[in-house]
Amino acid sequence: MVKSAYCPTCERDVSFSVKEVECTTSLDGVEYAYWVKQAVCEKCGGEAVYEPFEEEAGRAFNEAVREKKGLVSLAKIREMPKRYNIGKRPLSLLLGWGEITYTRFMDGQAPSQEYSDVIERLYSDPAAYYRVLVKGKDRISKIAFRKSEEAVASVLDSDFKSSEKIYEVADYFCILSEGDITTMMLQKLTYYAQGFSYVFLDSPLFEQCPMVGDAGPVYGQLLQEYQGKDLLVEYSNQGQAEAKLADAFEGVEEELLKAVFNSFGRYSGSILTQMVLNEDPIASRNGTSVKTQEKPEHDTVPTNDMKNYFRRIANAFGMKSSKDIAKYADEAFSKSTLAPTG
């Protein structure tokens, strides 16, 4: 089908050529300049009306206004629900806005500066989005929460380096426990393995830094990999387990992982969570004493904090080898509020 435009001079549909022209529109006393496509009638050379160009011009004008005001682009507004796999209504509710507020922005309405800043920040900082998601989880359905949680974990991971080692570590704990392990336990054991690797290995086990959530440290990649999996089914075949264990890790790494598993693996996920929440690198970030204040912008635990903390523990407990980790685990357990008293 040949495209045609309406020419008001010829008073009929005509074929046309296209030229780019710069337009200036005044709004509230401010002039906005932007480029538009213009249909030109091939019969009389006058300006013709081609609907798609009109719509494009409307959007270009909107973008010009946003740009001048420093507002978030429409493209970013439309991309955000895809980026974090969440519907526009749930997203709006999650942010504590009216249910259709985000829909209106997606339809082209320019947000106020305040709303714009929120969108801009959450788009570019997945850790901040993750915090908002966890905080507002009760405002959206469980399914919506889980889907978005997976998506943000994946965005966070793509920002991380591509180390596969973290999977091998988690996998090793799954094999050791014969699958009798929860994802929460898995997160904490992996965290302790990394923490004590700063003490007993020359270099950390893997590269990733954990995010800090309300349940302590969380590795996005593990969240994505293990959430919703039936570990008991996947790891209960011990015939294969022996072989897998034999060639997974060796030497000091093997010793470390087994020591971490033997020391912490007997506690439930909620007890382990209690333990890590009491620990310095997490407690100081979780703002337990200053609940009203905003958490720091990038709430991952930096390598140096973890290194210093676990080396201090090793000193305090006079640890000579990874076998001594058990002493610390017992002490941490007795300090957790879930420990039996008296």
Q: Distance between CA atoms of 189 and 269, rounded to whole angstroms?
A: 9
Site for Zn ion in 161-180 (CB under 5 A): none
CB of 9 to Zn ion, least distance (A): 4
Closer to Zn ion by Cβ: residue 42 or 225: 42
Closer to Zn ion by Cβ: residue 15 or 270: 15
Closer to Zn ion by Cβ: residue 47 or 280: 47
Site for Zn ion in 36-65 (CB under 5 A): 41, 43-44, 46
Closer to Zn ion by Cβ: residue 8 or 52: 8
Closer to Zn ion by Cβ: residue 9 or 238: 9
CB of 39 to Zn ion, least distance (A): 10
CA 6, 10, 14, 17 dihedral sign is: negative
> Can you read off the two tokens belonging to residue 158?
């793509």
Site for Zn ion in 279-308 (CB under 5 A): none
Place of tokens 């709430």: 299
Q: Distance between CA atoms of 217 and 227, rounded to whole angstroms?
A: 15
For residue 185, the one-letter residue type is M
Q: Distance between CA atoms of 167 and 249, rounded to whole angstroms?
A: 13
**What is residue 90's three-state secondary structure?**
helix
CB of 2 to Zn ion, least distance (A): 16
Closer to Zn ion by Cβ: residue 27 or 44: 44
CB of 18 to Zn ion, least distance (A): 15
DSSP bridge partners of 140: none
* Residue 49 DSSP label: B
From start to end of 178-321, where are the E strands? 211-213, 216-218
CB of 15 to Zn ion, least distance (A): 10
Site for Zn ion in 202-231 (CB under 5 A): none
Q: Angle at Cα 81 formed by Cα 78 and Cα 82, nearest 5°?
A: 90
Closer to Zn ion by Cβ: residue 47 or 168: 47
Contact 119, 76 (CB under 8 A): yes
* Residue 322 DSSP label: G
CB of 44 to Zn ion, least distance (A): 3
* Residue 236 DSSP label: -
Q: How many residues bind Zn ion (CB under 5 A)?
A: 7
Closer to Zn ion by Cβ: residue 38 or 194: 38
Closer to Zn ion by Cβ: residue 5 or 199: 5
CB of 7 to Zn ion, least distance (A): 3
Site for Zn ion in 4-23 (CB under 5 A): 7, 9-10
Q: Distance between CA atoms of 125 and 62, rounded to whole angstroms?
A: 25
Residues sharing a CB contact under 8 Å with residue 26, sequence separation 6 or more, in sequence order: 32
CB of 53 to Zn ion, least distance (A): 16
> Can you read off the two tokens belonging to residue 193?
């393995």
Contact 186, 222 (CB under 8 A): yes
CB of 56 to Zn ion, least distance (A): 21
Sequential DSSP letters for 259-319: HHHHHHTTS-HHHHHHHHHHSHHHHHHHTSS-TTSPPPSS-B--HHHHHHHHHHHHHHTT-
For residue 325, the one-letter residue type is I
Interface residues with Zn ion (CB under 5 A)? 7, 9-10, 41, 43-44, 46
